[in-house]
Amino acid sequence: MKTDFRNITEILERNATEWPNDVALVEINPQELEARHTTWREYSLIESSPIEAFRSEMTWREFDEKANRFANLLLSRGYKRGEKVAILLMNCLEWLPVYFGILKAGCMAVPLNFRYTADEIKYCLTLSDAAALVFGPEFTGRVEQIIDRVPAVRDRFYVGDDCPTFAMSYRALLGYCSSKSPTIPMAPEDEAAIYFSSGTTGFPKAIVLQHRCLLHSCRVEQAHHGQTKDDCFLCIPPLYHTGAKMHWFGSFLVGGRAVLLKGVKPEWILRAASEEKCTIVWLLVPWAQDILDAIERGDVKLEDYQLSQWRLMHIGAQPVPPALIKRWKTVFPHHDYDTNYGLSESTGPGAVHLGVENIDHVGAIGVAGFGWQTKIVRSDGITPVKPGEVGELALKGPGVMKEYYHNPEATAEIMKEPGWLLTGDMAEERDGFIYLVDRAKDVIITGGENLYPVQIEDFIRSNPKVKDVAVIGLPDARLGEIAAAIVSVKDGMTLAEQEFNDFCLDLPRYKRPRKVIFAEVPRNPTGKIEKPKLRKMYGAAGLVAQQNGITA
């Protein structure tokens, strides 16, 4: 079996050759059932109901052939090596064949966030020099608003029924294209994709990843979690982001099956894991919390599901509250657990990971991942801190991005030393393990003291009535900033301000939130708290209140 690859498309071709008739991908869309006012369970009890109404699948041969057809379509329309093709699709069976078809043509894939507004889509298409756009029906209105203002995008391929007049039908065109591989030679250092930063500090930056980055991500994930051909990966997060796709890469490398679940309700996740015999599930913190809360409320009953094959729950994209994992291990004691750290600039997760053998160090993000090096540095971005000091986490390894596209200044800011990537995350090392302290930009300076919101958030989440929390700095005329907690309370529970303040008495005085706001905590599709949005929502109002003589 071939294992030495020069680019990531060779893995797909190997899988199609070795296991042509094995299922590669399954798509499950329980949202379609809800639209009919039917639950998944009710639907499955109707003997004449075809499961294909909300479940579809694709073999490795079909996957490879669809990728080849799209590659040949691009080549037939004159696309050259290195041209950019953007993808604006919800998770679906077409997503990955489109992605790999772009790479097989020697072009660069440019995945776009499905939550982008029309103007953000225009911004990213322009910044990336995209020559084509592949989009689905959910985005027709947004694309129509801006497409005439992005003249460089010469082709618009539509994936779905009822193709709009300003686009071409992807499915209809594929029927005329060869299913044979175009065999465009690609080396490890060739550019493969542009991913966009999450944009939590403003407009996103365009991250250039090479084939070596994608290949290393496959090897990292499989080395950390030991995927075999018999494993089945349940993929829930959006494929446009490096997190979901690069965790899938571990299964992809060994030819394992994956299930794309379109929805995050606890009963959907448990039912998909049960019926599809999933062995590995990657969750975001809110989804794990929702599952545990649903079990505690009795909304779902574990005896209704077959979950004995589920061996690994891993989690990432944000700091993980230790209290959450303690709860999880109580409910699912047989699960291995791992947390994974990375960023799009490091080709997603795995640059640091806890390791399933280190469950006693929950709270740490872990140690350097497979093939990676780490260090914690001072403000110069180069000099290591002394043991026990807080500094910025830096990474070095084959997954480090090539550059920010068309932005040498921003590239230089986070790559001050050859090969090393500054993450923007403040961290410290204790007993050989790395602990995240906070994002450098989220540190609150109050009365000369540095407050790290993640530490305060971890404490607040230990309150059994708290569903989610975000701590931000609000302007204060005397202290500069004060810590404010935005608290989301669990369904069916109440939490009064005085009760919350009494709970926080166990924190050191300077760490206690000076203000509490009971509201929903906004998160982006990858689970990260949208703190700029919160600061915008509450910061100005707080400043006005102080100027009017009202204290927090």
Lowest mean pLDDT among 299-303, 371-375, 453-457, 461-465: 453-457
Lowest mean pLDDT among 51-60, 209-218, 419-428: 51-60
The predicted-structure confidence for 327-341, as pLDDT tens digits, reads as follows 999 999 999 999 988
Tell whether 323 is covered by a domain.
no
Tell whether 339 is covered by a domain.
yes
What's the structural domain count of the chain?
Answer: 3
Q: Does the pLDDT value for residue 376 go beyond 80?
A: yes
Domain final position from 389, 411, 439: 439
Assess whether 341 and 419 both reside in one domain.
Answer: yes
Higher pLDDT among residues 115 and 174, named by residue? 174
Assess whether 433 and 523 both reside in one domain.
Answer: no
Assess whether 463 and 482 both reside in one domain.
Answer: yes
pLDDT of res. 321 = 76
Angle in degrees, 0-180, between the axes of helices 9-18 and 242-254, rounded to the nearest 10: 40
The predicted-structure confidence for 502-540, as pLDDT tens digits, reads as follows 999 988 787 889 999 999 998 866 667 888 788 888 875
Tell whether 532 is covered by a domain.
yes
CATH code at position 32: 3.40.50.12780
Contacts of 462 (CB under 8 A, 6+ apart): 321, 323
Pairing of strands 206-210, 403-404: antiparallel
Assess whether 408 and 530 both reside in one domain.
Answer: no
Please provide the average confidence, as pLDDT, over all residues in the chain: 88
pLDDT of res. 448 = 57
CATH code at position 539: 3.30.300.30
Assess whether 432 and 449 both reside in one domain.
Answer: no
Assess whether 351 and 500 both reside in one domain.
Answer: no
The three-point CA angle 366-281-6 to 5° equals 75
pLDDT of res. 547 = 40
Pairing of strands 168-169, 155-158: parallel
Angle in degrees, 0-180, between the axes of helices 60-76 and 95-104, rounded to the nearest 10: 50
Q: Does the pLDDT value for residue 495 go beyond 90?
A: yes
Assess whether 55 and 100 both reside in one domain.
Answer: yes
pLDDT of res. 415 = 94
CATH code at position 390: 2.30.38.10
Tell whether 4 is covered by a domain.
no
Assess whether 152 and 100 both reside in one domain.
Answer: yes
Alpha-carbon span 16 to 504, nearest angstrom: 57
Q: What are phi and psi of 365, to 5 degrees?
A: -85, -15
Average pLDDT over residues 100-119: 94
Torsional sign, CA 408, 414, 417, 418: negative
Tell whether 432 is covered by a domain.
yes
Tell whether 301 is covered by a domain.
yes
State the DSSP string of 102-163. HHHTT-EEEE--TT--HHHHHHHHHHTTEEEEEE-GGGHHHHHHHGGG-TT--EEEE-SSS-
Q: Does the pLDDT value for residue 1 go beyond 60?
A: yes
Q: Does the pLDDT value for residue 276 go beyond 60?
A: yes
The predicted-structure confidence for 162-182, as pLDDT tens digits, reads as follows 999 999 999 999 999 999 999
The predicted-structure confidence for 234-263, as pLDDT tens digits, reads as follows 999 889 988 888 999 999 999 999 999 998
Q: Exposure of 545 by Cβ count < 10 A (0-12 exposed, 13-18 middle, 19+ buried)?
A: middle
Assess whether 59 and 125 both reside in one domain.
Answer: yes
* 8 A C-beta contact, residue 222 and residue 511: no
Contacts of 165 (CB under 8 A, 6+ apart): none
CA distances in angstroms from 161 to 140, 169, 262, 349, 375, listed in the order given: 12, 8, 19, 35, 51
Domain final position from 421, 439, 457: 439
Lowest mean pLDDT among 373-377, 403-407, 454-458: 454-458
pLDDT of res. 154 = 95
**Confidence band, pLDDT 50/70/90 cuts, at residue 200:** very low
In angstroms, how far is the first alpha carbon of the chain from the final one?
65
Tell whether 316 is covered by a domain.
no
Alpha-carbon span 403 to 382, nearest angstrom: 18
pLDDT of res. 147 = 92
Nearest to 535 by CA among 487, 446, 473: 473
Higher pLDDT among residues 101 and 541, named by residue? 101
Torsional sign, CA 411, 345, 116, 127: positive
Assess whether 173 and 227 both reside in one domain.
Answer: yes
Q: Which domain holds residue 378?
A: 331-439
Average pLDDT over residues 318-335: 86
Q: What is the pTM of this model?
A: 0.82
Tell whether 431 is covered by a domain.
yes
Pair of tokens at residue 239 = 């494929």
The predicted-structure confidence for 39-90, as pLDDT tens digits, reads as follows 555 555 554 445 555 889 999 999 999 999 999 999 999 999 999 999 999 9
Assess whether 469 and 419 both reside in one domain.
Answer: no
Domain final position from 389, 410, 439: 439
Assess whether 464 and 498 both reside in one domain.
Answer: yes
